[in-house]
Amino acid sequence: MSISLERIHQLDRQDPLADFKRRFALPEGVLYLDGNSLGAQPAGAREAVDGTLEQWRDELIKGWNQGWFDAPERLGDLMAPIIGARGGEVVITDNITLNLFKLLGYITGQCSNDRRVVLSEGGNFPTDGYIAQGFCRLSGHEHRFLPEGSELAEYLDGVAVVVLSQVNYRTGRLRDMAATTRLVHDHGAEVIWDLAHSAGALPVDLTGCGARYAVGCTYKYLNGGPGAPAFLYVHRDHQGRGWQPLSGWHGHAAPFAFDADYVPAGDITRFRTGTHSALIYSALEASLTMWAEVDMAALRDKSLALSELFRECLDDLLKAHGIEDLTPSPEERGSQVSLVDSEHGYAIVQALIARGVIGDYREPGLMRFGFTPLYLSYEDVWQAARHFREVIESGEYRESRFQVRCAVT
Amino acid sequence: MSISLERIHQLDRQDPLADFKRRFALPEGVLYLDGNSLGAQPAGAREAVDGTLEQWRDELIKGWNQGWFDAPERLGDLMAPIIGARGGEVVITDNITLNLFKLLGYITGQCSNDRRVVLSEGGNFPTDGYIAQGFCRLSGHEHRFLPEGSELAEYLDGVAVVVLSQVNYRTGRLRDMAATTRLVHDHGAEVIWDLAHSAGALPVDLTGCGARYAVGCTYKYLNGGPGAPAFLYVHRDHQGRGWQPLSGWHGHAAPFAFDADYVPAGDITRFRTGTHSALIYSALEASLTMWAEVDMAALRDKSLALSELFRECLDDLLKAHGIEDLTPSPEERGSQVSLVDSEHGYAIVQALIARGVIGDYREPGLMRFGFTPLYLSYEDVWQAARHFREVIESGEYRESRFQVRCAVT
């Protein structure tokens, strides 16, 4: 490849984030480029989970008064700086799908009757559209898609709320959150930002962008574990304005008064629903505590350097084999490289996985490679590119074992 | 007390469930009468959770193809026999509050327009009413309360669906599920059974009772861990009839096709939402595997024997001190004893906890003592009653340290 291993080692020696790699429990022989889908395990996660298991065993029901009950808000406050929010603006709860439903109900409940449209993005992660459709069927709102690549301004008439991803899950394309938020507000609508592919991948500034509502998950770049709970953000000036429709007892103003009628809590707590799995917050807390030490500007620099390195190593190969590179330019990129081979994409990813190079596959034809600066070295990326080259040039991916489909892709 | 310790030891020797106690990790010096709120830890839970942590560490994203993704249905099938359901009728997902919302939307979506009322029980666990209120605000249905102790038949006009608990969380009173289901269906309405205080506490026969819809939690009598995910049941003849409103990608007919529009899965899977916390299913799986060996008739016999023993040991004391015993007769009882002292209830429970006898307190004035036959011996109950007597007779509960309120009661 065009870049020497000697130069790569030099980059690793100069990397200000290099020490973080030791704070992850990484398996031997794996080059993990799928941290955009499920992050690696922080070294402290196991001890944290074991601690909660011991607490359940020994303290039993008393654990709810020993940090379990208020974990959604405590971890929300740990999460806040990572996304440019402030204390009391973030709660960790449920999953993105459910949190979107809550915000759709909360926002439309404040809208006048001439705004009846909920807009979601075509071509982006489908759960955002699915839940918008479920919401609209129940509430009587109208769901519309914003066609991929179209001008948002032309679709905002009559819109109450639009759900947008800051980073597209397929292409890795980054939206200008400040300009888009301003545009939506200027049209009298609201926007819910889905930060699933941006939180922990690049600096996010919800406050600076004037964003009022956001959701995101913690199991990708934020390393909270498989299916760790999601976050929900409401700007402090937009809290306390009404119900959210998934009104369970943990979101009540006085959950242990056991009153018959629901009265929403006055703060971010109202976005909680019923009882949460205390155990699962432990691993996430171990991770978020580590994240408090991360310099987000350095993270961004390394993220872009890693993805550029991968592309540079493969540029000639992709051209020669007709593999399309969807990856946007650095300033318009999240932290992933997206390649398309509609015929062989699935098999190429399977062949790479067999070599210990783990990326993922999304229909149709999309190979995604995520770059997580906390635990990927420059050499990891260089070696992954070398494997990619070998898989293609040898035709290894054509072996029949790489054509078998798994349930989860 | 009127019953000798010798007689108690004889009962323990004859107990066919006695061996199960060794399969729980119980703390020393604790008499735990709060398994109706958070069950004790199965001995296998830690190993199971550790296994999933290792799987996350070593297999990373591949874990989703190694049992994580289908855990909601796999554990649902393990759960089914415990509540008299069949394979494919139960899914483990989210919490009770959210599962009630799904079923309210699913059922009312099939109703004619002259049935616009959602009825929930007054005096029962409030989250069921709270979420019914949230649902009705959004959907335009009307929420009404069934007043505690009133005749259900008189409140069913115009009702689409009623949410009822099989066992009341305060009094422990057991409803006749078969007769009540028949009554509701005869009025052209549907009933969602909340089994939070019955699943694992007594034999439940959803099929035999003609029940079509149910929800419940797994962290009380079923020992799944703090906030373990809930279950949702739909009778096989009533599946596949439409959307549930919390339509996330895991409930899609083809979640990995990433289609733009939502199409619900044809089976119980449609009641899933977004990504679930894989880790938390491990502890529950360890527990449900153990539950497969439990003889539910023997469980019921012991449950009633334990609660009767507790009451018999305290009968004269309660009368002498004006403590009200709300506990229904054995045939109308779940697996708890409910005592009321509106002035001192909270302090009495705190004084008992200080002695290692853990029950819980619910406003107003309610002391709840749960009887979990798998890990409570007759002697445990006898000793707990002895402590109760000493706390009352000595006036120990009047100490100021027992008056301090915790956040979670």
Average pLDDT value for residue range A87-113 = 96
Taking the C-alpha atoms of residue A323 and residue A288, their distance in angstroms, rounded to an integer, is 37
SS (H, E, C) B321-376: HCCEECCCCHHHECCEEEEECCCCHHHHHHHHHHCCEECEEECCCEEEEECCCCCC
Nearest CA of chain B to the CA of A140: how many Å? 8
Closest partner residue to B138 (CB to CB) among A105, A258, A358 is A105
Q: Number of A:B CB contacts under 8 A?
A: 280
Identify the bridge partners of residue B337 per DSSP, sorted by sequence position: B369
* Per-residue pLDDT, A271: 98
In our burial notation (b when 16+ CB lie closer than 10 A, e otherwise), range B183-222 reads bbeebebbbbbbbbbbbbbbebebbebebbbbbbbbbbbb
Collapsed DSSP state (helix, strand, coil) of residue B291: helix
Nearest CA in chain B to A364: B257
Average pLDDT value for residue range A173-178 = 97
Average pLDDT value for residue range A154-170 = 97
Taking the C-alpha atoms of residue A150 and residue A119, their distance in angstroms, rounded to an integer, is 13
Interface check for A8 against chain B (CB to CB < 8 A): the answer is no
Among residues B386, B353, B383, which one has the least CA distance to residue B368?
B353
Q: H-helix or E-strand containing B315?
A: helix B296-321
Catalytically annotated residue among A175, A220, A270, A355? A220
Nearest CA in chain B to A229: B277
Taking the C-alpha atoms of residue A337 and residue A217, their distance in angstroms, rounded to an integer, is 20
For A218-227, the pLDDT digits (tens) are: 999 999 999 9
* Per-residue pLDDT, A242: 85
How many other CB atoms sit within 10 Å of the CB of residue A292? 9
The count of C-alpha atoms lying within 13 angstroms of the C-alpha of B52, restricted to the half-sphere facing its C-beta, is 29
For B126-174, the pLDDT digits (tens) are: 999 999 999 999 999 999 999 999 999 999 999 999 999 999 999 999 9
Closest partner residue to A133 (CB to CB) among B53, B247, B362 is B247
Collapsed DSSP state (helix, strand, coil) of residue A264: strand
Interface check for B120 against chain A (CB to CB < 8 A): the answer is no
* Contact: B279, A244; criterion CB under 8 Å: no
Interface check for A362 against chain B (CB to CB < 8 A): the answer is yes
How far, CA to CA in Å, does B335 sit from each of A10, A208, A339, B83, B303? 67, 55, 59, 15, 6
Return the percentage of chain A with pLDDT > 90, whole number: 95
User: Has A219 been annotated as catalytic?
Assistant: yes
- For residue B69, which residues of chain A lie inside 8 Å, CB to CB? 407-408
Interface check for B94 against chain A (CB to CB < 8 A): the answer is yes
Q: Identify whether the C-beta of residue A73 lies closer than 8 Å to the C-beta of residue A288.
A: no
Among residues B245, B297, B305, B292, which one has the least CA distance to residue B270?
B245
Q: How confident is the model at residue B283 (pLDDT cuts 50, 70, 90)?
A: very high
Q: How confident is the model at residue B375 (pLDDT cuts 50, 70, 90)?
A: very high
Q: Identify whether the C-beta of residue B245 lies closer than 8 Å to the C-beta of residue A105.
A: no
A194 is in an annotated binding site: yes
Q: How confident is the model at residue B73 (pLDDT cuts 50, 70, 90)?
A: very high
How far, CA to CA in Å, does A17 sit from each of A199, A370, A378? 17, 17, 11
For B174-201, the pLDDT digits (tens) are: 999 999 999 999 999 999 999 999 999 9
Among residues B261, B259, B257, B207, which one has the least CA distance to residue B80?
B207
- For residue B249, which residues of chain A lie inside 8 Å, CB to CB? 97, 125-127, 130
Average pLDDT value for residue range B398-404 = 94
- For residue B220, which residues of chain A lie inside 8 Å, CB to CB? none
Report the mean per-residue pLDDT for chain B: 96
User: What's the one-letter identity of residue A122?
Assistant: G
Average pLDDT value for residue range A314-320 = 96
Any alpha helices (H) in B117-209, and if so which ranges?
Answer: 126-139, 177-186
- For residue B26, which residues of chain A lie inside 8 Å, CB to CB? 57
* Contact: B65, A406; criterion CB under 8 Å: yes
Residues of B forming the active site? 125, 194, 219-220, 368
Among residues A13, A14, A26, which one has the least CA distance to residue A372?
A26
Q: What angle do CA B354, A253, B146 make, to 5 degrees?
A: 95
Residues contacting B85, CB < 8 A, separation 6+: B79, B206, B207, B214, B233
Stretch among A109-123, A196-210, B298-312 having the lowest mean pLDDT: A109-123
Q: What is the DSSP secondary-structure string of A108-119? A: HTTS-TT--EEE
Catalytically annotated residue among A15, A34, A194, A360? A194
Average pLDDT value for residue range A81-88 = 98
For A248-271, the pLDDT digits (tens) are: 999 999 999 899 999 999 999 999
* Per-residue pLDDT, B2: 80
Closest partner residue to B97 (CB to CB) among A97, A133, A246 is A246
* Contact: B56, A275; criterion CB under 8 Å: no
Taking the C-alpha atoms of residue A209 and residue B172, their distance in angstroms, rounded to an integer, is 52
B219 is in an annotated binding site: yes
Residues contacting A176, CB < 8 A, separation 6+: none
Interface check for A63 against chain B (CB to CB < 8 A): the answer is yes
Return the percentage of chain B with pLDDT > 90, whole number: 95
Q: What is the DSSP secondary-structure string of A153-180? A: GGG-TTEEEEEEESB-TTT-BBP-HHHH
Nearest CA of chain A to the CA of B65: how many Å? 6
For B255-276, the pLDDT digits (tens) are: 998 999 999 999 999 999 999 9
Residues contacting B54, CB < 8 A, separation 6+: none
Q: Is the dihedral of CA B166, B170, B172, B176 positive or negative?
A: negative
Collapsed DSSP state (helix, strand, coil) of residue A234: strand
- For residue B406, which residues of chain A lie inside 8 Å, CB to CB? 65
For A118-152, the pLDDT digits (tens) are: 999 998 999 999 999 999 999 999 999 999 999 99
Any alpha helices (H) in B30-176, and if so which ranges?
Answer: 45-59, 71-79, 96-108, 126-139
| Chain A residues 127-146 with CB within 8 Å of chain B | 127, 129-131, 133-135, 137-140, 145
B197 is in an annotated binding site: yes
Collapsed DSSP state (helix, strand, coil) of residue A329: coil
Nearest CA of chain A to the CA of B2: how many Å? 31
Catalytically annotated residue among A135, A368, A369, A378? A368
- For residue B274, which residues of chain A lie inside 8 Å, CB to CB? 95-98, 127, 230
- For residue A230, which residues of chain B lie inside 8 Å, CB to CB? 274
* Contact: A95, B276; criterion CB under 8 Å: yes
First-last CA distance in chain B: 30
Any alpha helices (H) in A167-277, and if so which ranges?
Answer: 177-186
Collapsed DSSP state (helix, strand, coil) of residue B401: helix
Collapsed DSSP state (helix, strand, coil) of residue A347: helix
* Contact: B225, A40; criterion CB under 8 Å: no
* Per-residue pLDDT, B406: 77
A248's tokens: 């369970």
Domains parsed from chain B with CATH numbers: 5-17+295-402 (3.90.1150.10), 46-291 (3.40.640.10)
- For residue A30, which residues of chain B lie inside 8 Å, CB to CB? 60
Q: Pairing mode, if any, of strands A159-165 and A190-194?
A: parallel
Token match 């991968």: residue? A310
pLDDT above 80: residue A1: no
Average pLDDT value for residue range B120-124 = 93
Taking the C-alpha atoms of residue B75 and residue B62, their distance in angstroms, rounded to an integer, is 20
For A323-340, the pLDDT digits (tens) are: 999 999 999 999 999 999
* Per-residue pLDDT, A245: 98
User: Has A302 been annotated as catalytic?
Assistant: no
B182's tokens: 């028949």
Any alpha helices (H) in A322-363, and if so which ranges?
Answer: 345-354
How far, CA to CA in Å, does A372 sit from each of A291, B124, B328? 13, 48, 59
Average pLDDT value for residue range A96-108 = 98
pLDDT above 90: residue A387: yes
Q: Identify whether the C-beta of residue A255 lies closer than 8 Å to the C-beta of residue A249.
A: yes
Nearest CA of chain B to the CA of A165: how many Å? 15
Q: Identify whether the C-beta of residue B257 lies closer than 8 Å to the C-beta of residue B15.
A: no
Number of residues that make up chain B: 409
Q: What angle do CA A42, A49, B60 make, to 5 degrees?
A: 45
Return the percentage of chain A with pLDDT > 70, whole number: 100
Write down the ipTM of this complex. 0.96
Closest partner residue to A40 (CB to CB) among B60, B97, B226 is B60
pLDDT above 90: residue B242: no
Nearest CA of chain B to the CA of A252: how many Å? 9
Which own/partner contact pairs does A21-28 have at CB distance under 8 Å and 24+ positions apart?
A21/A374, A21/A375, A21/A376, A21/A377, A23/A290, A23/A374, A24/A223, A24/A374, A24/A375, A25/B57, A26/A375, A26/B57, A27/B57, A27/B58, A27/B59, A27/B60
Collapsed DSSP state (helix, strand, coil) of residue B260: coil
Q: H-helix or E-strand containing A364?
A: none
Q: Pairing mode, if any, of strands B357-358 and B31-32?
A: parallel
Interface check for A315 against chain B (CB to CB < 8 A): the answer is no
* Per-residue pLDDT, B405: 84
The count of C-alpha atoms lying within 13 angstroms of the C-alpha of A303, restricted to the half-sphere facing its C-beta, is 30
A245 is in an annotated binding site: no
* Per-residue pLDDT, B408: 73
Q: H-helix or E-strand containing B246?
A: none
- For residue A260, which residues of chain B lie inside 8 Å, CB to CB? 122-123, 126, 129, 145
Q: What is the DSSP secondary-structure string of B101-137? A: HHHHHHHHTTS-TT--EEEEETTS-HHHHHHHHHHHH
* Contact: B279, A279; criterion CB under 8 Å: yes
Nearest CA in chain B to A93: B94
Taking the C-alpha atoms of residue A220 and residue A372, their distance in angstroms, rounded to an integer, is 9
Closest partner residue to A61 (CB to CB) among B137, B278, B358 is B358
Q: Identify whether the C-beta of residue B44 lies closer than 8 Å to the C-beta of residue B290.
A: yes
